[in-house]
Amino acid sequence: MIKTDDASAEEVSTTITLTIDGREIETRDGATVLEAALASGIIIPTLCHDPDLRPYGACRLCVVEIEGMRGLVPSCTTLAREGMIIQTNTANVKKSRRITMELIVANHPADCLTCAKNQDCRLQHFASYLGVDQEHCDRLRKSTQVLPVDRRHPAFDFDPNKCILCAKCVRACHEVTCAAVIDLSYRGYDAKISTFGDKSWIEANCRSCGDCVDRCPTGALAPKNEMKGDRSVKTVCPYCGVGCSLYLGIRDNQIVNIKGDKKSPVNKGGLCVKGRFGFDFVKHPERLTRPLIRKKDVGRDVKIDRSNYRDFFREATWEEALELVADNLAACKEKEGPDSIGVLSSAKFTNEENYVVQKFARAVIGTNNIDHCARL
């Protein structure tokens, strides 16, 4: 859904040929130099590039040399042309990248070990990839302003001290979510990410989709309650009928993080607030864990609620509970006929479960009194 270059994105058919680091490469007409390189496995470090977002040219890490062009050129905002000859690893390029990276690192808090994005951070990744000179950094290090961390959103925090102003979050909010809640405000040294009028994100009508958090290359935007999983399982969001595909990060039999499935033809990696932050109901203490049987003489009109229901129900084994259900259903069918029994299935259930429930109603009970709340 995201378009890089409107007309050209449509016509995938035309390709052009160019040379990167001595390798001849074919790419789609309309691709940027960076896209052409990445597509053929040539690594160019970048912090502000995202295939779903429009090129922005903020981090200056992706500079290359192109024959016939003066100086260093940002590869993310330069369109690839037929016959271009590109170098991504000259001495000049390397030097420029290192200085750029050292400037970023020098201004960045060094609390990696306690940061929520540790090991999942693009800045960390490319800093170690490029190598950063400690002495240089110390020399460059200014007395960084210590700005307050915004913790007002229930699902994520914003630490402006860790922000590298790559504007991925802003572009995500404008181009993907289209909510346009956040923006780059002020200029120069005071530049920062904020909502209109510096209100809290919620007050600024943030939709809490977490797209900005997901794309932030540093710990500036970080989810509050995530942990690293030791395995991940692809599944489908259980909330609405869009059916977004996602990955659950799992450890110790718990869901500890959630990622949208970027390859899904349904949601292309996106999730809404429910799919991204709404799965903690799974481990809610009120989950039913054992069959329950209503105590004798508790009438159906007794007012029972979530706080007192244990007084009116007792725990039972599956054996006992199923026996009771089977006996009662069988007796009712025997005495009043199968159509005196009704079965309600669920639009929250899987196909397989719905199939089994309707088969149960029809084949076992013998009634077509089977419905679900589709209409509601």
Nearer to ligand SF4, 66 or 221 (CB): 221
Inter-CA distances, 359 with 349, 368, 370, Å: 14, 10, 10
Establish if 164 lies at the interface with ligand SF4 (CB under 6 A). Answer: yes
Query: Quick one: what does residue 293 bind among another protein, ligand SF4, none, with the CB cut-off 5 to 8 Å set by partner type?
Result: another protein
- Minimum CB separation of residue 124 from another protein in Å reads 27
Nearer to another protein, 134 or 351 (CB): 351
- Minimum CB separation of residue 112 from ligand SF4 in Å reads 15
Query: Quick one: what does residue 193 bind among ligand SF4, another protein, none, with the CB cut-off 5 to 8 Å set by partner type?
Result: ligand SF4
- Of 29, 7, 43, whose CA–CA distance to 79 is shortest? 29
Establish if 74 lies at the interface with ligand SF4 (CB under 6 A). Answer: no
Query: Quick one: what does residue 339 bind among another protein, ligand SF4, none, with the CB cut-off 5 to 8 Å set by partner type?
Result: another protein
Establish if 218 lies at the interface with ligand SF4 (CB under 6 A). Answer: yes
Pairwise CA distance, residues 226 & 209, whole Å: 15
- Minimum CB separation of residue 268 from ligand SF4 in Å reads 11
Nearer to another protein, 144 or 225 (CB): 225
Interacting positions 260-319 with ligand SF4 (CB under 6 A): 267, 271-272, 274-275
Nearer to ligand SF4, 30 or 249 (CB): 249
Pairwise CA distance, residues 216 & 293, whole Å: 50
**Taking the chain, what is the end-to-end CA distance rounded to the nearest angstrom?**
32
Stretch of 4-12, 69-77, 216-224, 312-320 lying at the interface with ligand SF4 (CB under 6 A): 216-224
Q: Are 91 and 72 in contact (CB under 8 A)?
A: no
Pairwise CA distance, residues 53 & 171, whole Å: 7
> Which DSSP category does 150 fall into?
B
Nearer to another protein, 70 or 306 (CB): 306
Burial of 354 (0-12, 13-18, 19+ CB in 10 A): middle
Nearer to ligand SF4, 240 or 356 (CB): 240
Q: In one letter, which amino acid is 373?
A: C
Strand pairing report for 231-236 and 221-223: unpaired
- Minimum CB separation of residue 74 from another protein in Å reads 23
Interacting positions 235-264 with ligand SF4 (CB under 6 A): 237, 239-240, 242-244
Question: What is the C-alpha R_g of the chain?
Answer: 28
How many residues form the binding site for ligand SF4 (CB under 6 A)?
Answer: 38
Instruction: Provide the 3-class DSSP secondary structure of residue 24.
Output: strand
For residue 241, how far is the Cα from the chain centroid?
19
> Which H helix or E strand runs over 168?
helix 168-171
Q: Are 86 and 31 in contact (CB under 8 A)?
A: no
Nearer to another protein, 221 or 244 (CB): 244
Q: Are 55 and 32 in contact (CB under 8 A)?
A: yes
Residue ranges binding ligand SF4 (CB under 6 A): 163-169, 172-173, 177, 179, 181-182, 193, 201, 206-212, 216-218, 220-221, 237, 239-240, 242-244, 267, 271-272, 274-275
